[in-house]
């Protein structure tokens, strides 16, 4: 009997979507050639610069899209900020820096805030596909002020969950931190409970379908797949839901995707 239960448990785990591997981890072993990643990261920077973006929301795809749940296209989201940078030859210049929330390699249930380069951002990409949201000018000013202030770090919750409920303060993932910073900028507050109240009132998360038994086994199958912050339904913030929110409230100048072959509206 125990053996049958163990076999059933193992079978159920294999049915779980690849949420954990789709999380916001720092790049591990590169999947794509470094020169292609470098060229693509430069292409994304050029697209942002051409639009005069001082700050933008950028997303990457770190997993085979066929393995991702319905409604999720990108697996990692961060702010890119136009900044003073040091070039490879040691000279000073300007370019974009990515402001990330990454899971730690030691414990996937813990996250940290990390700045890296555009090439580092795409180093672990499964495919070269960038989702981009360019906020309107007024919102860019507010976002830059928040990111440069102590509020940016204050809004970080190190308790990581791939499926964090954006309206609940218990857990956080990269997309929820992006949303929290956005709301802090819009409402001029870094009070976590006020931010969560505004998210609950105005933001529509992506619903994720998880069967009852699979949901019960989720924390055992993957430590960073926690759902105790949800009610009967499971919903999380995604690049697409942030994009829809910003378009709905006229907060975005543009929402589009960039691939090596070109760009198109989302």
pLDDT in tens, the chain (266 residues): 444 334 333 333 333 444 433 456 665 567 899 999 999 999 999 999 999 999 999 999 998 888 888 889 999 999 999 998 877 777 888 999 999 999 998 998 999 999 999 999 999 899 999 999 999 999 999 999 999 999 999 999 999 998 899 999 999 999 999 999 999 999 999 999 999 999 999 999 999 886 644 544 455 556 667 788 888 888 999 999 999 999 999 999 999 999 999 999 99
CB 163, CB 16: distance < 8 Å: no
Whose CA is closest to 70, among 266, 234, 193?
Answer: 234
Structure tokens at 47: 């697209």
Instruction: Tokens 């393995």: give the residue.
Output: 67
The pLDDT of residue 16 is 40
The pLDDT of residue 88 is 74
Find the helix or strand (DSSP H, E) in which 137 lies.
helix 137-147
φ/ψ (deg, to 5) at 182: -60, -50
Instruction: Tokens 């990108």: give the residue.
Output: 74
Cα separation, 21 vs 103, in Å, equals 11
Cα separation, 64 vs 74, in Å, equals 10
CB 147, CB 139: distance < 8 Å: no
Domain range summary for the chain, segments of one domain joined by +: 2-265
Instruction: Tokens 């956005």: give the residue.
Output: 182
Give Cα separations from 107 to 25, 137, 159, 197 (angstroms). Answer: 11, 38, 10, 29
Find the helix or strand (DSSP H, E) in which 164 lies.
none
């Amino acid at each position: 009997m125990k053996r049958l239960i163990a076999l059933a448990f193992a079978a159920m785990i294999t049915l779980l979507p690849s949420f954990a591997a789709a999380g916001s981890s720092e790049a591990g072993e590169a999947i794509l050639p470094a020169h292609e990643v470098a060229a693509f990261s430069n292409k994304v920077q050029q697209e942002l610069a051409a639009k005069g973006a001082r700050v933008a929301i950028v997303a990457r795809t770190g997993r085979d899209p066929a393995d991702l749940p319905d409604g999720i296209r990108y697996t990692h989201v961060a702010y890119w900020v136009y900044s003073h940078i040091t070039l490879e030859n040691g000279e000073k210049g300007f370019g974009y820096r990515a402001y990330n929330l990454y899971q730690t390699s030691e414990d996937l249930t813990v996250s940290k805030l990390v700045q890296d380069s555009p090439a580092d951002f795409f180093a672990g990409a499964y495919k070269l596909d960038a989702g981009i949201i360019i906020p309107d000018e007024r919102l860019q000013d507010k976002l830059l002020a928040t990111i440069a202030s102590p509020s940016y770090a204050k809004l970080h919750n190190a308790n990581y969950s791939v499926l964090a409920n954006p309206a609940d303060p218990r857990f956080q993932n990269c997309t929820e931190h992006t949303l929290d910073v956005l709301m802090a900028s819009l409402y001029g507050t870094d009070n976590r409970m006020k931010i969560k109240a505004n998210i609950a009132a105005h933001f529509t998360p992506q619903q994720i379908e998880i069967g009852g038994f699979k949901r019960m086994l989720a924390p055992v199958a993957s430590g960073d797949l926690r759902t105790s912050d949800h009610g009967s339904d499971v919903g999380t913030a995604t690049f697409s839901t942030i994009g829809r929110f910003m378009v709905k409230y006229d907060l975005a100048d543009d929402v589009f995707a960039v691939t090596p072959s070109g760009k198109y509206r989302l």
